[in-house]
Amino acid sequence: MDTHPPLRSYGRIKSRAIKPRQAALMDTLLPKIRCPAGPIDPVGLMPGARETWLEIGFGGGEHMAAQAARAPDVLMLGAEPFLNGVASAVRHVDEQGLANVRIHDGDVRELIERLPDASLARVFILFPDPWPKARHHKRRLVQSELLAELVRVLRPGGRLRFASDWADYVDWTLERALRTPGLVWNAQRADDFRRPPADHVTTRYEEKLLGDCAPVFLDFVKA
């Protein structure tokens, strides 16, 4: 018998009313691009895909859609429990005619559990909710258990990118990543994490500068 407690995603699942056009796409397009139930075979989702990438907590889908448009031969998976964000992302997929995006509208841990070993080439965790109060740190997305699962699904040489504009969350993530077997941080100088990577897509959310420091980008490689 399964003894694991049920997964819980913290934060709002829905805030404001979803716009009519987005609501219509949630009914028509989302079922077509939603990740299927059960074990997931990325090859089956997009035969001929060069690689599979995952964005965890894609917000409004701006970055996910831009990366998918840049690399149409890559299968882009996205996970987001916030319904307004999913609605926004589906609109981006529709407007840009993206055929290489699949969405999991729920907790990413449910999705990762169903992915095979060494199936991902890249993972993005960009500006997740910082939960700055110490008593809420257990709600942070980045935990040792998640990092261990990401190591499992990343292929050798696969990359994990974390970005935040909250200094404490950067320190929190770096501490846990460095003690996760299989993850390597190759930064050699400050510019390696203080400057946006060449392939980064800046979003409107990032431009709001809601944190307490300039954005920091941590790129890890699976050994």
Q: Which of 94, 117, 129, 168 is catalytic?
A: 129
136 vs 130, 175, 217, CA distance in Å? 9, 18, 23
DSSP string over 84-108 = HHHHHHHHHHHHHT-SSEEEE-S-H
Give the C-alpha separation, 127 to 58, whole Å: 9
Mark out the alpha helices in 39-135 (DSSP H runs): 42-45, 62-70, 83-96, 108-113
**Is 94 one of the catalytic residues?**
no
| Residue 91 CB burial class (10 angstroms; 0-12, 13-18, ≥19) | buried
Contact (Cβ atoms closer than 8 angstroms) between residue 84 and residue 18: yes
Sign, CA torsion 216/55/20/10: negative
Phi, psi of 221, rounded to the nearest 5 degrees: -125, 140
Question: Residue 222, class by beta-carbon neighbours within 10 Å (0-12 exposed, 13-18 middle, 19+ buried)?
Answer: buried
Tell me which residues are annotated as active site. Answer: 129
